Structure 1
Amino acid sequence: VLLGELVFVPFNRATLLGIDLPIALWVMGAIALLDLVAILLFYKELKLSTFDEGLAAALGFAPAVLHYGLMSLVSITAVGAFDAVGAVLVVALMVAPPATAYLLTSRLPHMLVLSVGIGLLSSVSGYCLAHSVNGSIAGSIATMTGVFFLLAFFFAPTRGLVAQHLRRRRVRQEFAVDMLLVHLHHHEASEEASEENAVPALQHHLRWEARFAEQVLRAAHEGGLVEPNGGSVLHLRPEGRERVERVLAR
């Protein structure tokens, strides 16, 4: 079983070209260089064959060869890392940093750079954590990868849980404002306008909760879409009429 222990890596050393370094550093350095050269040389081909295998085949890129070449690099990297630092750290650093980067950006080049940066930051912060609590280095680094992933999962600008909640809330409110404007537009020329378009009656007619109705009315008023017309009856402003026309034209 290939199983390494990060703590003992500095004690297993080798001298090459007069430079004395841990064997794991020599091995992983060579593998990292191999991976970097392969990505730089075949970046476009790998991206195309990964995301559109049919187009890659049509352009003569041999997607099967590229796929198994990439899998071979992943396997070599995993085997070398297992021997150096162990299974826990290898799995954590192969999964968590890319997943975290995926939450932060949708562009592949940025994702690759962020993955490396998050992995480095997790390693440094994990080592500091292990040193401060006198705990396992591998376990602490794996923990920090999870911490950074959770931070991105909740607070990523676009794909984070908080951002998605705020976006859904904004869309719901915008839809409610549109419904309010359409309601006012349909009834403003009718005989029941003073009743249908009155603020106290809107909540009942549109079946909104009191708090939500207040938020929608405030948003419409602050947006310059509606204004009171001699009391509690609302009427559309020019900006509101333009928005209603766009809504009805959809």
Structure 2
Amino acid sequence: MTSGLAIILIALATAIASSIIGLFLVLRKMSMLIDAISHTVLFGIVVGYLLVKDINSPLVVLAATATGVFTSWLIELLIKSKKISEDAATGVVFPLLFSIAILLVSSPATNLRNTNINVDSIFIGHIELASIEQVTIGMLTIPSNLILPLVVLLINLLFISIFYKELKIVSFDVALAQVLGFSPIIIHYLLTTLVSVTAVIAFNLVGAIMVVSLMIGPGATALMITKDLKKTLFVTVIIAVFNVLVGYLIGDFFVLPISGGIAVTTMIVFLIVVILNPKSGIMINIFKRRKLKYVYKVVAMLVHIRNHSDADDEEEEIALDTIVPMLNWDTKEFKQIYEYAINKNYIKVENNILRVTPEGRKFKETYL
């Protein structure tokens, strides 16, 4: 297996595992918790490594996962005190644990500077080196760093399959979940545990930046495309795969960190959907507002014509050569609205007097 293919497979497994589990926290408007966990697991990694002196030890994963769950619990504790908001609680907890971890990594006393736990790898990872160690399983030789992401991916898929109904209800209506007998707290901490495990595995390979972008970006992007949960999961996976492939090409072509390329691609794809989404994108909203503004001017002209039709002042108010000042429009603006209304057969001209047609009345009643 070539180095490039190995890196892509590792990144794909990590991206899919991260995005599908992160989607449910995004649905619950808890994206900041993802950001917090993806950073605070470093504290658990560092503490676990200092205890066992082996970064590949299961105890390191266990310590980092416990730190992620502890982060969630501590944030919940601060929120329940009702003295601090959710975002403020997150902003207090995660910088505290993350900064302690950075201090431990940077301290000469811990002797971590010469290991693969260093400030550079914390933020951008070392996925470029992930394909070096290979293992042979039967006739197949694969990177050893691919195994854990695949295991986590399978666990996440199994969890979502088993608890899909519970996750759906808890994500959209916590009160209903309680009425139906589900425990939102149990689902929350199971989800938090899986997010922590996924973050730990991804953290060592791709760094904090990519963990956050992969857990939040694809899901947030997919939710702007569809609101159906099953379709959202599918679109999330498609977007995650696309981001990885394009990000890898960017990193490889420009000789840049691949995790950074994937994170940048994730942001670009998100912004493209924000701007160009045909359902609720910025561009379509601008177009709709302009069209609505245009439509309201047409309706205003139709109302004015209708109000003064057959009145004593109709020759002054709705005559073709006198209506412009009565509407308080400029000539250019009136010409555009007039031509549009004529083309749509909303108005007609009789003896230089404007009249509303039946089609015009129907159009006016649609907006009034």
Q: Normalised by the size of structure 1, how large is the TM-score? A: 0.90
Structure 1, gaps ≥5 residues long: none
CA separation of 1:229 and 1:99: change in aligned 2, threshold 3 A: same
Q: Which moved more, 1:237-246 or 1:118-127?
A: 237-246
1:61 aligns with 2:182: yes
In structure 2, distance between residues paired with 1:27 and 1:239: 66
Q: Is the 8 A contact 1:45 1:66 kept in 2?
A: yes
- Aligned letter for 2:354? L
Name 1:47's counterpart in structure 2.
168
Q: 2:361 — aligned with what?
A: 241
Q: Residue 260 of structure 2 corresponds to which residue in structure 1? A: 139
* Cα drift, residue 69 of structure 1: 1.5
Following superposition, the deviation at residue 20 of structure 1 comes to 3.6
Q: How far 1:209 moved relative to its partner?
A: 4.3
Query: In structure 1, what is the Cα distance between the partners aligned to 2:322 and 2:197?
Result: 70
- Give the corresponding residue for 2:142: 21
* In 1, Cα distance between equivalents of 2:183 and 2:177: 7
TM-score by length of 2: 0.62
Within the candidate set 267, 280, 299, 1:178 is matched to: 299
- Quote how far apart the aligned CAs of 1:15 are: 4.5
Q: Secondary structure of the equivalent of 2:224?
A: helix
Give 1:181's aligned amino acid.
Answer: L
What code does the residue aligned with 1:42 have? F
Aligned: 1:87 with 2:229: no
Deviations 1:119-154 (A, max 9, x none): 111111111122222222111111211221121121
Aligned to 1:229: 350
Could you say which residue in structure 1 is the equivalent of 2:325? 204
**Partner residue, 2:282:** 161
Percent identical across equivalent pairs? 32
Residue 86 of structure 1 and its aligned partner are, at CA, apart by 1.2
Which of 192, 204, 220 in structure 2 is aligned with 1:71?
192
Distance 1:52 1:185, change over 3 A: same
- CA RMSD between the two structures: 2.0
Q: 1:245 to 1:18 in 2, by over 3 A?
A: closer
**Structure 1 residues 202 and 102, CA, compared in 2 at 3 Å: closer, same or farther?**
farther
**1:37 counterpart (145, 158, 183):** 158
Deviates more, 1:134-143 or 1:204-213: 204-213
Say if 1:200 and 1:88 are closer, same or farther in 2 by CA, change over 3 A.
farther
Q: State the match for 2:316 in structure 1.
A: 195
State the distance in 1 between where 2:322 and 2:161 align: 65
